[in-house]
Amino acid sequence: MALTSPSDESDDAETLARIKLTNNLGQMVKLFLPGNHPYPFIWTNARFSLTAHLGMTDREKDFESARSLGEAGKVDEALEKLSKYTSDPEIQYSVSEMETINTIITEKLTSCSFEEKKEACNVCITLLEGIKLVKDGEWLSLYSESVYEAFSRMSICARDEERQETWNRLKELFYEITLAAKKAWKDKNYPDRLAIYVSYAKLCKSYLDVADEESFKMCETMAKEAKFLGKGTLDDDQWKESNRSIDQIKKLIADALHERELMDDSE
C-alpha cells in the first residue's frame, strides 16, 4: 500500500472538490439543453471550458480577464488588472502573456483620440520599459512589435523639445532587443531577426531629426552581413522574406540619409 503525506491527502481533497464542482456546474449547463440535443459538442465544450478554468492559476485568470477586457475596448480596466504584474520589473512574461500585453497596447494606441494619443503612447512606452526581455523568438517579435507601434505613433505627437529624449528611450530599448535577438536567432539572415532591424530602420526615418549615425550604421551593417551570409540553412520562402527585409532596410536608410542631407543644406 502506497504511503501518502498530509499534503497528498489535501491535494486529493482539492482534486475531488474540483471534480464535484465541475460536475455540479456541468449539470447546470445541461439543464439549459433539451434532451437528445442535436449538438452534443456544446455540452462537451462547456464542460471542458469549466474544467480548464478551474485548473488555472490566479495569474492565468488575471491575464485571461485582461485580454477579454482589452478586446472589449476596456483598455484602462485591462491595464489596471495587470498592474500588480507590470509594476514589478523582475516578473518574466510567457509568450501568451506577452501576446495579451501586445493586444492591450495595440487597442490602447488605436482606440484613443488624437488629443489622447500622446498620453497613451507614454503609458505604453513606460509599460514596455519595465518589461524584462526574454530570449525567445516569438516573444521578442511580439515585444518589438509593441515597441515599434508605441514609438512610431509618438513620433507624430512629440514636441520638438521632447523628440531627443524620446529617441534616447527608443534607442535604449532597441539596443536591448538586438542583444536578445542574437540569442534567439543565431543566424543574421533569419527573417524574424531582420524584421527587428526593419522596424528600427523605419523609426530612424521617423525620428530623422534626432536619430544618431550609429543607429543608421547598425541597421545598414546588419543588412550587409545578412546578404553576405546568403541563403545558408534557410528554405526558399525564408530566403525570399529575408531578401525583402534586406532590401527594405537598405532603402529606408538610404532615403533617410538623403533626406538628412537635404535638411542640412536647407539650414
130 shares its domain with 180: yes
Q: What is the pLDDT of residues 149-177, one digit of tens each?
A: 999 999 999 999 999 999 999 999 999 99
pLDDT of residue 193: 98
| pLDDT band, very low/low/confident/very high, at 54 (cuts 50, 70, 90) | low
Q: What is the DSSP string of 162-187?
A: HHHHHHHHHHHHHHHHHHHHHHH---
Take residue 185 and report the three cell numbers written for it.
Answer: 536567432
Q: pTM (2 decimals)?
A: 0.79
Q: What is the pLDDT of residues 186-203, one digit of tens each?
A: 999 999 999 999 999 999
What does DSSP assign to residue 92?
-
Cα 220 off chain centre by: 25
Segment 139-150 shows an average pLDDT of 98
Are 104 and 79 a contacting pair, CB within 8 Å? yes
90 shares its domain with 199: no
89 shares its domain with 165: yes
207 shares its domain with 179: no
108 shares its domain with 220: no
Residue whose cell numbers read 532590401: 247
175 shares its domain with 80: yes
Q: Residue 107: pLDDT above 90?
A: yes
Q: What is the DSSP string of 54-70?
A: HT--HHHHHHHHHHHHH
| pLDDT band, very low/low/confident/very high, at 267 (cuts 50, 70, 90) | low
Sorted by sequence, the CB contacts under 8 Å of residue 252 that are 6+ apart come out as 198, 201, 202, 204, 205, 219
Segment 257-267 shows an average pLDDT of 82
Are 181 and 133 a contacting pair, CB within 8 Å? no
175 shares its domain with 194: no
In SS3 terms, 137-151 reads as HHHHHHHHHHHHHHH
How many separate domains does the chain show?
Answer: 2
Distance CA 194, CA 249 (A): 9
Name the average pLDDT for the chain: 85
Cα torsion through 206, 211, 216, 219, rounded to 10: -60
Segment 143-148 shows an average pLDDT of 98
Q: Residue 25: pLDDT above 60?
A: no
Q: Give the structural domain span for 88.
A: 58-184
